[in-house]
Amino acid sequence: MISDNAIFRTLIFSSILSVMSACGASSANSDAVRIGVLYSLSGEQASLDESSLKGAELAAQEINAAGGILGKALLLEVRDAKTSPEAAAEGARELYGDEGLSIVMGLSDTGLANPVATESQLKEKLFVTSGATGPGLVKEAPTSTFLACFSDVTQARAAAQFARSVLTLRSIVVIRDETSEYARVLSDSFVSSFASAGRVVSRVSFQGSAVNLDSVVNQARANRADGIFLAAQPNEVATLLRALREGGIASPIIGGDSYDSPLIFALSADVKQGVYYTTHALLSGPAQSPGASAFIQNYTNSYGEAPESAFAALGYDTVRLIAQAVEKAGGTDVSLLRKALEDTSRFSGVTGSISYGIGKHIPQKDVSVVTFKDGVAVLASTVAGR
C-alpha cells in the first residue's frame, strides 16, 4: 500500500499544474479552489481509505480536464489521518487553520471522523465525510457536517429487512467490537430493527484486535441461532469470518460496509460462502447505472485496475458534490457554501442520489446487499433507503 502523504500530494499537484498550464491558468495556489482531504493512508483503515483517495483524485482530474471550477483548477490538500483520532484532529486543525480552508472531506470511520466534525463546528467551517456512516456526526456538529453516504441506521435497517424477508432468519447472534463506535451504532441499529420480527439470542463482545477467537466462536456455536450479525472493522471481520467458518459455523453471517474491503475479498471462497453485507454500490460485475459504468471505466484507465470497493466511488462522488456546491456558491465562503450544499437536490452520484435540506445533512440513499458466488462478490438485493 502507498502511504507516503508527500508522494500523493506531489502527484495530485503535478497533475493539476499540467491541467492549469493547458488551460492557460496560473499555477499559484491562490488561483485554485482548494479542498482539504483527510484519509487514513496508513493503519487499519487504509484498506478502505486508499480507494477513496483514488476516487477523489480521479474526480479532481476530470473536473480540471473540463476547465476546473469557476475557471480555476481544483486542488486537493491531502493529509494522512493514520487511523488515529489524534492524527485526524491534527490534520483538521492544519487544514482549517494553517491552510485556511473552508471545507474538508474524507474518512470512512465514525471514530476518526468525530474529531474532524468537532473541529469543523468549533471553527465554523464545513466537513463532508465520504464514508463515515455514524448519524451522531451530524447530531454533534449540526451546522458544519454532512454525510455523502447513508447512515448506519439506514444500512442496519436494510440488513435486518434482508435477513428477515430474504434469508428468513428468525433468530440471530450479534457479535461486535466494543472498541469501535461504528460497530456499536451499527449493531444497536440492527438489533432495534431485527427485534421487531425476530429474536436476538445472544450478544457477544470483543475488544478490537485483542479478540479471543476461541471464546467468540464457542459462544456463537453454543447459541444455535439461525444466523450471525458481525459488526467490526475490516481486519477483525476478516479474522473472525475465517475463525467462525473453521469453527464449523456454516450459518449466514451478515455485516455492514466495513466488509467492502480487499481484506475480505481476499478470503477463500468457502469462508465467504453465506456472507452478506450492506454497502453503497457494487462496482464489480454488470454496472448498476450508466454513471457507475463510466466511473469504473475511467478509474480502470487511470489506475490500471478496477475500483477495489464502493469507497472509491464515495471519494469520487464527494469531490463532485463539493465542486457542484462551490459552483453554486460562487466560491468557498462558508455560509454560501453551506446553503449550496443544503440546497442540493437529487445529485446523481455513482453511489446513488443525494439530497439535503436545512438541518437535514444525511441523505436517504438506497442500500446494496452483496454476497459471494464462487468467491466473487455479486448483488443479492437493493433495499430502498429510509
3-state helix, strand, coil in the chain (%, to 5): 45, 20, 30
Mean pLDDT by 10 residues, the chain (386 residues): 38 39 41 96 95 98 97 98 98 97 98 98 98 97 98 98 97 97 97 93 94 95 94 97 97 98 97 98 78 92 95 98 98 98 97 95 96 95 88
Closest by Cα among 273, 271, 296 to 285: 296
Q: Which structural domain range is residue 184 located in?
A: 153-279+368-383
Give the span between the Cα atoms of 233 and 217, in whole angstroms: 17
pLDDT at 286: 67
What span, in angstroms and rounded, lies between the C-alpha atoms of 230 and 207? 13
**pLDDT (0 to 100) of residue 197:** 85
Same domain, 24 and 79: yes
Same domain, 118 and 169: no
What is the three-class DSSP state of 229?
strand
Residue matched to cell numbers 479478540: 211
DSSP annotation of 117 reads H
Question: What single-letter amino acid sits at 365?
Answer: K
**Are 231 and 374 found together in one domain?**
yes
What is the C-alpha separation between 15 and 75, in angstroms, rounded? 10
266 in the same domain as 128: no
For position 287, what pLDDT does the model report?
62
Q: What's the confidence (pLDDT) of residue 29?
A: 60
- CATH number of the domain enclosing 268: 3.40.50.2300
For residue 88, being part of any structural domain is answered with yes
pLDDT of residue 356: 97
